[in-house]
Chains A and B, each alone.
Chain A
């Protein structure tokens, strides 16, 4: 693709070609069967002071959009000293030239829609056989996206990303007793989706017990053992978003609070972020054309890194990390996570439980959030009594202080798993859902507020 970029301004063009599928069965009825395909572009232009954006679904109109934005930006008062080319942010813009198409030949667009629907139908008997399930829904989703990136520094990149997966959500009821849960499998290729039927069957059995036997929790402060998926959400919400450096631009208090080198957790605590890991968070190049890196956010309890786009890296005087991401062609890239995980410790899950006299084990959650107070909304949770998992309990919300919680981690197991919510994703600044990976091992956190 050849574009004429205006002189003395920075310009980039991100083209995306999308193929996606969504199939939904509810109680045996096909509710949705949708294929979406489009090609579209997002254009950015920077005059040294302000950004100008436009999006278009007409690829023949990209040059016209560039020219129109250039007219908006070409205001002499906007040019500052130093010249744009000398600015740190300009140095952070990509000049890479590369093609990385790892999904070519394995594209979900090559799998017939009938095969995808048929795969989903194989799960129906499993869900239907449980007498307490009153409402169930099966969702298959896939998305293949080929991206191209060009900018006025000469960058020329082509890469592809892909995801395929399914979710089973179900609602159990027995009189006034209600319980809902879901099961998700997220991969990068359609042919990898099979073979999880036993896990689903075991989950249904466990949920039935939970429906019939769960009790309301006694509110209070407890040590809480988190399952790997929950650890992943905890890491993402409680710490991951704080490491996104766009929030720090021009904010001295935040910079001071999150200064690199600060001890924020126990010696055993390491949190890693990487767009190179296969899965939902695989992002070989970010939406500014910078390659994915491996970033140690916390190493041995010490704050060692954070996530950047070109602007935040320039503001903080650090290196770009390949974390500028947009959910689609209608949005500008902002600093986002890719795959974020808490690394393995040395204990076993059994040790974590055995060391806990009175606590809570959280096996699954419906959502989490992280501001000054972070939250986790448990679905399956159990009391821990005298070193053993005891009774199922219903909990509305678990909360804790973001600034203290990492130092409250007092046990990390060695059974790390990396997963993703394939039917959802991460939300930030109105951009939802963005595919991300997250994970970790079982961990134990002291003094969490249970309600």
Chain B
């Protein structure tokens, strides 16, 4: 029997922002632990759970997993007993647990802030925003978080990741607006550069009152941070279970060129660039932290957990995710478009674009048709936002968005300190209302 511990630690100070002021300070320090037991005998294959005596190899696809979890301090013996009890339900786990791998990544020492410094810097940030943009109110959260993920087991795996960041999420509302909010400011950095946050968060405020119009039709649409709005269908359809059962649009199409030569998509576990752990919830690490799923438009692989990779004979892609006490399942959370090597200005080639700040509630049909309202958008000339657009809707099809109409992922975004880059796609854009 193999024993594995998966632990997620988070130490966080969160400031609630109400009408430009800090209305609450919240402190949390949580440790969530899952104990996993892998029983290679449970499926009844070879009697000793493998050929190496400790069960770390070759379970023949008949192993099982039992998990028990705890929040905070726990009695390990009780947790192990609970996990043993869960083994009787015979949850299949045909994959091999991570073995003989030791790696530690600690990015938490790139900067340090005391709680007092964090609160003072945030008060300073809000004061600048208040003075610079008096017609707007800023609300929501500023978070300073140190997180740590650990996975170790009796097969010699010992992985740890530690990181620290400041996340600014501010809903921006014009004082005369009837909306709940009109724009959104986002910054995620290792460090707290208040001037950079002011510039990125305030970018949309600076040109909010400049109302500009566009001609309806096909034009570049760019999205900075929420690429999932456009990538959602690709992400959903690339799930190994959907692919393997024939329920995906992309089933039976591995090896086919489905998209533009310029479109490549990978599982990216580079913690330096993407602020997430270099190993997945099963302890899988990737060579070069990357696994290509779509390369130059050609479908290479779905994303998988070890179980799904085994069940449907795909490669293990390091895409397992789940709560501390869950059986890991494949997740599209770490998918990333490969950048084009070009800045957004070059990608647009002199064309102006619709820069989407808020597009909420749209969706794809099961067959890939896409439509979404755009609640807040600005005209973008390749260098800067030039004015606010009226209420718009965008539409396309998944094969067009990442096929003939795919422009590319830029190497730049609105801040060199943030991980967000512009994703550009030509889409049909239509006006559905006035400036709110």
Contacts and interface: CB of A to CB of B under 8 A. Distances in A.
A56 interface: yes
A298 B31 CA distance: 44
Interface string A143-187: 000000000000000000000000000011100111110000000
B179 interface: yes
Interface string A255-288: 0010000000000000000000000000000000
Contacts of A177: 367
Interface in A360-399: 366-377, 394-397, 399
Given A179-B366, A374-B361, A396-B365, A54 B26 contact: yes
Contact of A134 (B19, B90, B246, B369): B246
Contacts of A451: 371, 393, 395
Interface string A107-120: 00000010001000
Interface in B166-215: 173, 175-181
B275 interface: no
Interface in B1-43: 16, 18-19, 22-28, 30
A86 interface: no
A147 B208 CA distance: 45
Contacts of B26: 52-54, 332
Interface in B368-398: 369-373, 375, 391, 393, 395
B137 interface: yes
B120 interface: no
A34 B329 CA distance: 14
A397 B67 contact: no
A401 B433 contact: yes
Given A373-B375, A396-B371, A54 B27 contact: yes
A371 B89 contact: no
Interface in B311-329: 325-327, 329
B363 A135 contact: no
Nearest to A210: B366
Contacts of B69: 34, 36
A135 B19 CA distance: 47
B363 A377 contact: yes
A318 B91 CA distance: 53
A270 to B, nearest CB: 23
Nearest to A450: B371
A401 B343 CA distance: 36
Contacts of B231: none
B366 A180 contact: yes
Interface in B68-93: 69-73, 86, 89-92
B113 interface: no
A139 B181 CA distance: 35
B363 A371 contact: no
Given A371-B375, A396-B369, A397-B373, A135 B361 contact: no
Contact of B432 (A40, A113, A373): A373
Contacts of B25: 50-53, 72
Nearest to A377: B363
A112 to B, nearest CB: 12
Contacts of B433: 373, 401
A3 interface: no
Residue of B16, B176, B249 ringed by the most chain A CB atoms within 10 A: B16
A241 B4 CA distance: 43
A250 interface: yes
| Majority SS at the chain A contact face | strand
A58 interface: yes
Contact of B28 (A26, A51, A55): A55
A403 B375 CA distance: 14
A397 B92 contact: no
A367 B361 contact: yes
B30 A55 contact: yes
B326 A34 contact: yes
Contact of B72 (A40, A117, A375, A377): A40
Nearest to A253: B176
A412 B326 CA distance: 44
Interface string B414-436: 00000000000000000011001
Nearest to B436: A372
Contact of B245 (A134, A369, A430): A134
Interface string A93-134: 000000000000000000001000100000000000000001
A375 B373 contact: yes
B428 to A, nearest CB: 10
Contacts of B71: 38, 40, 57
Contacts of B372: 375, 396-397
B69 to A, nearest CB: 6
A72 B67 CA distance: 39
A242 interface: yes
B241 A26 contact: yes
Nearest to B24: A51
A276 to B, nearest CB: 27
Contact of B361 (A27, A176, A394, A399): A399
B91 A31 contact: yes
A415 interface: no
A205 B137 CA distance: 51
A330 interface: yes
B180 A241 contact: yes
Contacts of A377: 361-363
A94 B361 CA distance: 37
Contacts of A372: 178-179, 375, 391, 436
B369 A216 contact: yes
A399 B137 contact: no
A346 interface: no
Given A173-B246, A178-B249, A401-B433, A32 B363 contact: no
Contact of A366 (B137, B363, B367, B391): B363
Contacts of A178: 247, 249, 366-367
A83 interface: no
A293 interface: no
A247 interface: yes
A1 interface: no
A36 B325 contact: yes
A370 B436 CA distance: 14
Contacts of B432: 373, 399, 449
Nearest to A49: B23
A52 B16 CA distance: 10
A29 B64 CA distance: 12
A251 interface: yes
Given A249-B19, A253-B177, A374-B361, A396 B370 contact: yes
Interface in A394-451: 394-397, 399, 401, 403, 429-430, 449, 451
Interface of B: 16, 18-19, 22-28, 30, 67, 69-73, 86, 89-92, 137, 140-141, 173, 175-181, 241-242, 245-247, 249, 251, 325-327, 329, 358, 360-367, 369-373, 375, 391, 393, 395, 432-433, 436
13 contacts: A34-B86, A38-B72, A50-B25, A135-B242, A171-B247, A179-B366, A252-B175, A330-B28, A368-B361, A372-B178, A376-B361, A396-B362, A449-B432
Given A36-B69, A374-B361, 19 more contacts: A31-B91, A32-B326, A50-B22, A50-B23, A50-B24, A52-B24, A135-B245, A135-B247, A171-B245, A173-B247, A173-B251, A177-B367, A241-B180, A251-B173, A252-B175, A330-B28, A370-B361, A375-B372, A394-B367
Interface of A: 26-27, 29-36, 38, 40, 50-58, 72, 113, 117, 134-135, 171-173, 176-180, 216, 241-242, 247, 249-254, 257, 330, 332, 366-377, 394-397, 399, 401, 403, 429-430, 449, 451
- Smallest CB-CB A-B distances: 4 pairs: A375-B361, A57-B72, A369-B361, A396-B371
